[in-house]
Amino acid sequence: MGSLTVRNLSEDVKKRLRLLAAANGRSMEEEIRLLLAAGAAEAPVAAQANARPAKPVPSEAAASQILLIIGGGIAAYKSLDLIRRLRERAIAVRVVMTRAAQQFVTPMSVGAIAGERAFTELFDPASELDVGHIRLARDNDLIVVAPATADLMAKMANGHADDLASAVLLATDSQVLLAPAMNPRMWGNTATQRNLARLTADGIVTVGPNAGEMAESGEAGAGRMAEPLEIVAAVEALLAPQAKPLAGKRIVITAGPTHEAIDPVRYIANRSSGKQGYAIARAAAAAGAAVTLVSGPVALPAPSGVTTVQVESARDMLRAVEAALPVDVGVFAAAVADWRVAQAGEQKLKKDGSGPPKLALTENPDILATVAKLKAKRPTLVIGFAAETEKVIEHAKAKLKRKGCDWIVANDVSAEGGAMGGDDNAVHLITASGVESWPTQTKDGVARQLAARIGGFFSRA
C-alpha cells in the first residue's frame, strides 16, 4: 500500500516525505504509515511532523550548510550517523564521496540520509552544469572530512586535485575540519605526521583520532575516528557565531609529563596529569585558534577540534613543537623531564648480582628556552609555566628572564598547593608589566582566562 501511495504523490510532496523520513531515520513507507495513523486519529498531519522538535526537517531555512567529504575507510559507516546527527541540528549536509568511500557505504544510502544525492565524480557533466566542483567548494559554511584517510591527508597536504574530493578541498576558502581515521601505525608514520603538521600550518583543524581498539583484530592505538557526536561538537564550535578572539591565530601547546627511557620497560616520569595544558588547548580552540597540542603520555581524551600529537620523551616533544612552527603563540605547560638516562639500555637491565645499575643522567633540551630564543620562527608570544614549591613568584620571575619568554604562569605545586593532578589551580601571571594573582579556580577557568588574555594581547598589538 505504501508504494502505491508514494507513486501517486506529487514530486514536491514526495521530496518532502523523503526528507521527513530521512530526518526521522525511517523508511518512507514507515513514515507514511505513521502519518496515516495520525490522520485516522484525526490528528493534524502538520502537528505530527512538528511533534519532533529535536529533529527538524531540513529545509532551505537550515541554519548552516556543511559539505561532508567521506573518505575510504571502514569508519565511513559512522558518517551515516554523523549526517543524521547534523541534520537533527538543522545543519544541511551536502556530501562528496571518494571512490574508495563507495567501497564502504553506497551513494544511495548516503543520499537517502542526506536528503539529496551524493556527489562522486569530478568529470560529471550533469553535476558540473548543476552545482560543479567550484560551487561545492564555495557554497558551504564548513567542510568536514570524515573519515580523513592517510591518503586524503597526503593529497591535501600536497595540493593534489585528481578527484572530486581533492579538487573541492583545493578550491575552497572554507574552514576545513578533518576527522582522521586510520591504522595506528599509519597515523604514527612520519609521513602522516609531516602531512598533519603541514595541514595544521595551513589552518586546517582536526578532531580525533581517538585511541582504542581498531576494526582490524589485534590492532590498538591512536587512529579511531572521533565519534559522530564529538565531530558534531567540533562542528558546532566552529560554526558558533560568538566572538572568536583568537580566530586566525595558530597556537602550539605542550602538556603532560615526558617519559625518559631507562630501558625498553622502565622510564623516568613525573606526576603531571596534563589537565592544565589540555584545558588551555580546549579554551584556545573554542576562542577560534588553530591549536596543535603536543602531549606527553596522559590519560586524557584528545580535545575536539585540536590537532593532538602524542609524544613520549623531551626530545620527541621538541621535534613535534618545531614541526608545528611557525605559530603566533607558544604555551609550554608540559612538565618536561629535566634529565634523561645518557645511555638507555637497549635490552631490559638485569639483576646480575653486582648491585644496582649506575644510571648516568644527561640534561634534556629545554623546549621553552629553545623556542623563545629562536631568531626566525619565534612565536610572537611565548608563554612558559613555572611549577614551584616555594618562593613561587621570585623563582618564576627568574625563570622568565632565564628562558627568554614573554609571560610566565606560575603555580604552587607543593603538596599544600594541590595543583598537580587536581582540578583547581591558583596561578600568578607574570609579564613585563607586573604580577597578577588570579583567584583559585578550575583549570578550565584558568585556561579561559589565559585565552582571553592572549586575545587581548593581539587586539592591542
Q: How far apart, in whole angstroms, are the C-alpha atoms of residue 311 and residue 294?
A: 7
Q: Grid coordinates in use for 215?
A: 576494526
Q: How far apart, in whole angstroms, are the C-alpha atoms of residue 45 and residue 225?
A: 39
List, as one string, the DSSP characters of 173-216. -S-EEEEE---HHHHHSHHHHHHHHHHHHTT-EE--PEEEE-SS
DSSP state of 432: T
Report the nearest approach of ligand CTP to the CB of residue 387 (Å): 4
Which residue lies nearer to ligand CTP by CB, 234 or 367?
367
Which residue lies nearer to ligand CTP by CB, 246 or 386?
386
Catalytic residue among 140, 195, 210, 270: 270
* φ, ψ dihedrals at 98, nearest 5°: -75, 165
Longest dimension (CA), the chain: 91
- Which residue, 116, 448, 143, is CA-closest to 285? 448
Which residue lies nearer to ligand CTP by CB, 178 or 253?
253
Is residue 8 part of the annotated active site? The answer reads: no
Report the nearest approach of ligand CTP to the CB of residue 424 (Å): 19
Q: Which amino acid is at 435?
A: V
Report the nearest approach of ligand CTP to the CB of residue 290 (Å): 21
Which residue lies nearer to ligand CTP by CB, 48 or 370?
370
Which residue lies nearer to ligand CTP by CB, 79 or 270?
270
DSSP state of 100: G
Which residue lies nearer to ligand CTP by CB, 144 or 314?
314
CB proximity list for 12: less than 8 A, separation 6 or greater: none
Report the nearest approach of ligand CTP to the CB of residue 394 (Å): 12
Report the nearest approach of ligand CTP to the CB of residue 276 (Å): 11
- Report the interface residues with ligand CTP, using CB under 6 A: 254, 314, 332, 334-336, 338, 364, 366-368, 384-387, 399
Residue corresponding to grid cell 577560534: 288
Question: 290 to each of 6, 108, 135, 281, how far by Cα in Å?
Answer: 48, 35, 26, 9
Positive or negative torsion for Cα 429, 430, 433, 437:
positive
Q: Is-contact 220 264, C-beta < 8 A?
A: no
Report the nearest approach of ligand CTP to the CB of residue 421 (Å): 16
Which residue lies nearer to ligand CTP by CB, 88 or 322?
322
Q: How far apart, in whole angstroms, are the C-alpha atoms of residue 380 and residue 216?
A: 44
Report the nearest approach of ligand CTP to the CB of residue 407 (Å): 10
Q: How far apart, in whole angstroms, are the C-alpha atoms of residue 214 and residue 222?
A: 9
Question: 337 to each of 254, 269, 276, how far by Cα in Å?
Answer: 13, 7, 17
The residues that are catalytic are: 270
